Structure 1
Amino acid sequence: MEEEHLTKFDLGDLEQHLVETDDFTIFNQDDLPMGGFQVMEDIRRKGKLCDVTLKVEDQCFTAHRIVLAAVIPYFNAMFTHDMAESKQMEITMQGIEPSALESLINFAYSGKVKIDSSNVQSLLVGASFLQLAKVREACADFLKHRLYPNNVLGIRAFADTLACWSLVEACNRYLQKHFVDVSMSEEFLNLPLPEVRDIISRDELNVQSEENVFEAIMSWTKRDLDQRSDSLPELLTKVRMPLLTPQYLTDRVGTENLIRSSHECRDLLDEAKDYHLMPERRPLLQSFRTRPRCCNDIVGLIYAVGGLTKSGDSLSTVEVYDPIVGRWQMAESMSMLRSRVGVVVMKKKLYAIGGYDGIDRLATVEVFDPASKCWSKVCPMNCKRSAVGAAVLNDQLYVCGGYDGVASLNTVECYHSDTNKWMMVASMTKHRSAAGVVAFDGHVYAIGGHDGLSIFDSVERYDPTTGQWTPVTPMLSKRCRLGAATLNGKLYVCGGYDGSTFLRTVEVYDPITSKWSFIAAMNVTRSRVALVANMGRLYAIGGYDGVSNLSTVEVYNPELDQWEFITSMCAHEGGVGVGVIPLP
């Protein structure tokens, strides 16, 4: 029969392009879309089948409407809607440079664009105009890696005009981290008053001393004395003068003619001197001017303190993580076993507060000095506390709630390192054990926790100037044994336990809108997790996943909204207290 004479084919290569069912076959040529665009680009360069000319200034570029509409949102809207330009053969463009338009037309055909120092600004403007989000993002990333003290303010202003907020934020973080160098640049000295005021008001400025901020505003003022001298009192209110040394206040600030000739400036100087002369009145003199600045992008060593073994025993062990080398190593152990311990860093020293030693809840406190690498005991708290929250505000250590072995607590204590004494302050409105406690926006926040019967989504905050606790917008989820930290002017909480489920969800609170929102969840569930900010990232350390204690660590990148695992702890299995000591 004829069928016996048919040639046999090897279908191996063909089969990979076929999708077969009993009724039909679909052939798929993967390289067709890109190959088709390459052919259209060749046709365009030969000047064939082009149906639109784009004119900018004195230059013209021909193209195919269908290609422009397929790739560039601006032209898609123009050509597919009943706009006058949809029928015009020649379209005059405004607001984009000829070279940028040419590059972005080529991008529509090839999917590639060259970005360099000579064209990045015009490309960013063009990509913003044409609504090419990914090209715009690539231009922003190019500039983020080329920020310097002498250009960051100019790039920030440029990004702001284009509403390129990721680049604005990168510039803000850079100028905060490198404020001293930026403040000596021509761009800074030529800034208008509102921008100078905004910059020097930031908590996140990386300065060794408020001297750097004072000298910056004096240099700015003296650049144009006739026009700017009247602004000095306003700027001086943003300098944290009480944090200057008495010697500097007397020898430098007090002898400055511009200060001496201004009644308002002299009042601010007197306020700072009173802060030093009357330490017993410092609690009454608290304001943002007495609050130390803290730059989140500064490299710090992360200390994991106490915690639990895999079998649940309390530890005195301490280990430290260096984010530069990405390695944990052992540090000097505490004098006592402590799990569920409160940990803070104050004046570059690490405090371990209360906790549980396997037998009893603790009131004892010990402090680690990284210079001497030694732990020493300080005055114990008035109450025994495990599962305690702790935070530092205005160089004072606050401990909130916890568990004393009998009941959850609502009491709050405040420690002054100068006097080595604890004093009771106003109690919280709720009894909170295993709550998240952070210093944020000039207040102490107590977040979630439980009272032995109920787990809370509620949040309250303490104002040291009024001595009162007031409610704040509750979280979206109830949580105890959560992690809490602040980063870039926002408050984050992660993990915990809601009474039925161990959590891996993460929420962020924006004080401007007073709203919580969910962000990317952690990779694993973590109750009894420690959360800390370092180098512009959040570190979620240890915890309990419902089955076992954890030694794993993951880090959150707020720019990518993404968590990734890093090196696990070597000596701990969860339940640690964590603090960050900035490197010198």
Structure 2
Amino acid sequence: MDRKPKPLLEVFHYKDKEQPSLLSTQLNRLRKERVLTDVLLCSDNTEVACHRNVLASSSPYFTAMFCHNFRESQQQKVRLKGISSGILSGIVDYVYTGSVVITMDTVLPMMQAASMFQYTRLFEACSHFLQEQLSPENCLSMIRLSDILQCGSLKEKAREMAVRNFSDVSNSEDLCEMSLPELMNYLEDDRLCAEEEQVFETLLAWIHHDPFSRRGAISDLFKKVRLRYIHPTYLFQFIASDPLIQSSNLCTEIIESVRRLMFSVSTRCGSDLKPLWAAPRRYTCQETLVLVGGRKNNEQTSREALLFDEQTQRWQWLAKLPLRLYKASYVCIHSVLYVLGGLTMNTERSVVSTAVYTLSLKTNQWRTAEPMIQARFAHQSVAYLHYIFVLGGLGLEMQLCDTVERYSSMFNQWEVMAPMPTAVLHPAVATNDQRIYLFGGEDAMQNPVRIIQVYHIGRNLWSKMESRTVKNVSAPAAVIDNKIYIVGGYTRRMIAYDTKANRFLKCKNMKERRMHHAATVLGDKLYVTGGRFINGHDIIEDSDSFECYDPKTDMWTSKGTLPYKLFDHGSLSMVCISNKPNLP
């Protein structure tokens, strides 16, 4: 059978990928041998032979010089001012080969030459080299340099370094040389990686560098400090007594407005303070989950403290509690973790404790604080504004307590408050809108109590009401958007109490009947850790579960497992500045 003839190829598009490289290599060889060169670029006592057409095709600068009616287009020798012979040779090598060596000695003149001759990619290569040299010690100098060179990419990276390492940068002489608008720009930045106390100390150092001309800026700078996130003791004892602050009527008025807000036990502030008080935390102040204490692997009371790193999805170990405490309570206020009371387990004879231990993520060290008035364990603690409230529990004689005491972080002292109407053990406790809510719990005979007890913080008054919906024991509670979520408590059920509408809402059930677990809020989600659960054979088991509930979707998702099984522990959301605490 005859085959059809193969059609002739009428068009063949050929592209030689090596030709551009070979061409530039040959042109560079011709330049070095001075073959067909038609212009000499002169600098110092050096003459570099080049081809006009190569230079003109490489940059708009040389295009204008040789292709328009400038005198250089007719000259055999073109003298270039302000550029050294070494830099000129490097620029010409770059034009012909695309390669150049950049060092710390040559980067600045090379960058200036690249800017003058309009070699954009070479200019950015120099910028990249300088970015690799950035450090907290030189980033402010680099910002000034980037302004001189008009280099946006270097300025952006240097500023990012300064913002991320503000703790180191704030101590530098360069910061004190900033103009007022420059400093204001930093203090307004939500990305600033610094505690607000340090922000205040930075503005003081800046003013004291030139007090005669700068002291008038104190009120404008002070408005940039986010007072809501400063520890009250620091604010009212250190800041309020500073001579510069006292010299400004506006500053003292702001502090007095904050003081009135604190003493009113209200989260609502006046119109004059509202813009300052409403300023959000800086982006670098991230909430992180911390677990502390509890019973580990059903063996013994744990001294462990763990932090969950959201970025790596891993647990990190913090400094251990100074001693083992059975059924202490845990609370966080002003970015400090408090462990209150408990039954000491380090001695031959267990002792009910009044001790208070604190942990700051900044130092990762445990310290002692002012002890409680009454020794207690199996109690509850909640934080509200600058107060910590401790409620109920078991006292020295193992009797069930109805007592309440309050700690003021402003004055570092405890005081006795109105007792609970009904003493209960293991209720679900939460605070919202100047009130503390206690749901359920059990009485001295271990019978579930179907009541809601409400404490009005400002009035120091209790009220209570019966509710058939409430039947929880050893269940945590947490608040999201004015709704108090009661998670389990010898049941799978989770319910939400709407404090505004005064009604309960049903939520998605958990997988198992859970108790002695812990819950806390991060962002707008509820995180539940550990506890004990009743399996399908009605046997109680310890849990290492780590789950997340999203109220928007009413869905539970698993976050993996804890490093070990844990119950009766504290679960807290704490703010850390860099999300990298000073781990041991």
**What is the TM-score with the length of structure 2 in the denominator?**
0.51
In structure 2, distance between residues paired with 1:250 and 1:241: 21
Q: Secondary structure at the match of 1:423?
A: strand
**Aligned equivalent of 2:267:** 288
- From 556, 568, 574, the equivalent of 1:575 is 568
> What is the aligned partner in structure 1 of residue 362 from structure 2?
371
Q: Match for residue 551 of structure 1?
A: 544
Determine the structure 1 residue equivalent to 2:430: 438
- Residue-by-residue CA offset, 1:124-149 (whole Å, 9 max, x unaligned): xxxxxxxxxxxxxxxxxxxxxxxxxx
2:383 is the counterpart of 1:386 = no
Query: Separation in 2 of the partners of 1:450 and 1:382?
Result: 24
Aligned residues: 329
Q: 1:322 to 1:308 in 2, by over 3 A?
A: same
Cα deviation, 1:156-214, whole Å, max 9, x if unaligned, reads xxxxxxxxxxxxxxxxxxxxxxxxxxxxxxxxxxxxxxxxxxxxxxxxxxxx98xxxxx
Deviations 1:21-77 (A, max 9, x none): xxxxxxxxxxxxxxxxxxxxxxxxxxxxxxxxxxxxxxxxxxxxxxxxxxxxxxxxx
Any conservation in 2 of the 1:318–1:333 contact (CA below 8 Å)? Answer: yes
**Counterpart amino acid of 1:436?**
A
Match for residue 398 of structure 2 among 383, 386, 406: 406
> Is residue 331 from structure 1 mapped to residue 318 from structure 2 by the alignment?
yes
Matches within 5 A, 1:24-103: none
Does the alignment pair 1:534 with 2:522? yes
Once residues 553 and 475 of structure 1 are traced to their aligned partners in structure 2, the CA distance between those partners, rounded to angstroms, is: 30
Residue 530 of structure 1 and its aligned partner are, at CA, apart by: 0.7
Equivalent in 508, 511, 516 of residue 499 of structure 2:
511
Question: Which residue is 1:423 aligned to?
Answer: 415
- Give the TM-score taking structure 1 as reference length: 0.51
Q: Secondary structure of 2:327's partner?
A: coil
- Equivalent in the alignment of 1:524: 512
Post-superposition shift, 1:395?
Answer: 0.8
Change (3 A) 1:371 1:518: same
1:526 match: secondary structure: strand
Structure 2 contact 307–317 (Cα < 8 Å) conserved = yes
> Would the aligned equivalents of 1:438 and 1:485 in 2 still touch at CA under 8 Å?
yes
Q: Deviations over 1:459-486 (max 9, x none)?
A: 2222222110122574713111111111
Residue pair 1:299, 1:535 contacting (<8 A) in 2 also: no
- Asked whether 1:361 is paired with 2:349, we answer no
Residue 490 (structure 1) aligned with residue 483 (structure 2): yes
Rounded Cα–Cα distance in structure 2 between residues aligned with 1:432 and 1:253: 50
**1-side partners of 2:320 and 2:228: how far apart?**
36
| Structure 2 counterpart of 1:467 | 460
Whether the 8 Å CA contact 1:303–1:578 is kept in 2: the answer is: yes
* Corresponding letter in the other structure for 1:411: T
| Aligned partners of 2:542 and 2:566 also within 8 Å | yes
Say whether the 8 Å CA contact 1:310–1:549 is kept in structure 2.
Answer: yes
Judge conservation of contact 2:293–2:570 (CA < 8 Å) in 1: yes
Whole-angstrom CA distance in 2 between matches of 1:429 and 1:437: 15
- Flag the structure with larger Rg: 2
Q: Which residue identity lines up with residue 256 of structure 2 in the other structure?
A: K
* Identity over aligned pairs, percent: 20
2:424 and 2:443 in contact (8 A); partners too: yes
CA contact (8 A) 1:443 1:464 kept: yes
SS in 2 for 1:273: helix
Residues of 2 paired with 1:428 and 1:459: CA distance?
Answer: 11
Q: Aligned partners of 1:282, 1:441: CA distance in 2, in Å? A: 14
Give CA deviations for 1:249-285 in whole Å, capped at 9, x if unaligned: 8788838xxxxxxxxxxxxx86952764xxxx98853
Q: CA deviation at 1:391?
A: 0.8
> By how many angstroms is 1:397 displaced?
0.5
Deviations 1:299-334 (A, max 9, x none): 422111111122342111111112332222211110
User: Counterparts of 2:249 and 2:332 in 1: how far apart (Å)?
Assistant: 30
- SS of residue in 2 equivalent to 1:429: coil
Q: How far apart, CA to CA, are the structure 2 residues paired with 1:558 and 1:350?
A: 26
- 1:455 partner amino acid: P
Aligned to 1:126: none
Aligned counterparts of 1:328 and 1:240: Cα–Cα separation in 2: 29
Which residue of 1 is the match for residue 250 of structure 2? 254
* Letter of the 2:520 counterpart: V
In structure 1, distance between residues paired with 2:480 and 2:229: 25
Give the distance between the partners of 1:251 and 1:445, measured in 2 at CA. 44
1:313 equivalent to 2:300? Answer yes
Structure 2 CA distance for aligned equivalents of residues 350 and 240 of structure 1: 18
Q: Structure 2, unaligned stretches of length 5 or more?
A: 1-194, 197-226, 535-539, 578-584
Counterpart of 2:256 in 1: which secondary structure?
helix
Q: Which runs of 5+ in 1 are unaligned?
A: 1-207, 210-238, 256-268, 497-501
Q: Distance in 1 between matches of 2:429 and 2:488?
A: 14
Partner of 2:448: 455
In 2 relative to 1, CA 407–333 (structure 1 residues): closer, same or farther, beyond 3 Å?
A: same
Secondary structure of 1:520's counterpart equals coil
Note if contact 2:450-2:466 (Cα within 8 Å) is conserved in structure 1.
Answer: no
